[in-house]
Amino acid sequence: MSQHALSPSPSATQAPAALSRGLLLLMALAAGMTVANLYYNQPLLADIGRDFGVGPDAVGFISTCTQIGYALGMFLFVPLGDIKERKGLITILLALVCVSLIGVATAQNLPWIYIASFAVGITTVVPQILVPLAATLAAPGEQGKAVGTVISGLLFGILLTRTVSGLIGGTWGWRFMYALAAAAMLALLVLLRMKLPLNKPTADIRYGQLLGSMGGLVKRYATLRESALIGGANFAAFSVFWTALSFYVEGEPYHYSSQIAGLFGLVGAAGAFGAPVIGRFSDRLPTKWMIGILLALNLVSYLLFGALGGSLWALIAGVILLDLGVQGTQVANMARIYALNPEARSRLNTVQMVTTFLGGAFGSTLGSFAWRHWGWHGVCIAGGGSVLFGFAVWVLHRLRKEESVS
């Protein structure tokens, strides 16, 4: 196995692997169901804006609040997975997100929905606890596959959410969609409480030291810095597109409703099928060139959106390439950073995902701003520029490593 393969954690070496196929699939399902809370609003932004009588900039800030909350929740809560029992932590967070979703469903004005959306984001961090948990429970040599499977579930959740939200919210209203999501989180809480094994922490340090140690990890590992910056750039490009899509397809030349806009999530889900495959490759092969190729796919997708976005086939092809590129890069990055320090996987995951979702929050704001001021071509330039930034980070990291060798 290559140097990029994941090393077993101490807990994994002390006991037989506790990750059966059934439990792994349940964790993937749970990751998809919980991350969905972040994206229910995207196909419904135009509907929510009409409900409150506001334009794209104001209603687009709902997505921004949710993703900022998610980034902060990852910083505050996900590192606890290294020092607290994860099953209990997951239970508490699912209970809190139920309350937050009810807050969105009952929102009466914009400040209310901003605050409730922020609360949804800060409590919807269960997927980022499940991913390192899967790596810890998996057998040696199977961590990449386990991580890829759970991330695949997470990515299916991100993409299929738009279809579910567009169909249900577009038919019965966005408030009903959020009430249904709260009920789903309550059911998931009960199921995970029954099925997840107890998982003891791998580190014995105080919470303040835990948070402070993440700065040391960033300073120590150049691979983590590169991975986090690429993740942020990729997710900015991802969010630029999905935030602006519902506005774009409502007008010329498509004239689609929110239900139809949500169906593009089904198209993007095709890309998620590649996540477990990339996870298996990351157990056996160096990931650096894989990441470069996947970044190139993201760039091609934006070239299609910009040059041929008025053609449905080009829009569909671009969605598939964008989602495959973003998802595949994320899986490959997670595999290589988990190999850096198995005892600090929750903290490594926190650095990676906080940066990624801060990029997503920036992308949501940038997408709605670019749409309002420059239309679809402005959106494509903004998203393509985000991809180019990530590609530049990848190239510079390769050049620096070559210089250090020579």
Average pLDDT over residues 35-41: 91
- pTM confidence score: 0.75
Domains and CATH numbers, the chain: 10-405 (1.20.1250.20)
Among the residue ranges 96-105, 165-174, 199-208, the one predicted with the least confidence is 199-208
Q: 8: Cβ–Cβ under 8 A, 6 or more apart, which residues?
A: 139, 140, 143, 342
pLDDT at 10 over 60: no
**Cα–Cα distance for residue pair 26/349, rounded to 1 Å:** 20
Burial of 208 (0-12, 13-18, 19+ CB in 10 A): exposed
Higher pLDDT, 328 or 214: 214
| Mean model confidence pLDDT for the chain | 85
Q: How many helices (H) and strands (E) does the chain have?
A: 17, 0
pLDDT given for residue 338 in this prediction? 83
pLDDT at 9 over 90: no
pLDDT digits over 258-301, tens only? 677 777 877 777 666 665 666 666 556 667 788 998 899 999 99
**Cα–Cα distance for residue pair 124/141, rounded to 1 Å:** 29
pLDDT given for residue 2 in this prediction? 37
pLDDT at 14 over 50: no
First-to-last alpha carbon distance for the chain, in angstroms, is 26
Using pLDDT thresholds of 50, 70 and 90, give the confidence band for residue 354: confident
pLDDT digits over 167-205, tens only? 888 889 999 999 999 999 999 999 999 999 887 776 678
Using pLDDT thresholds of 50, 70 and 90, give the confidence band for residue 118: very high
Average pLDDT over residues 47-68: 86
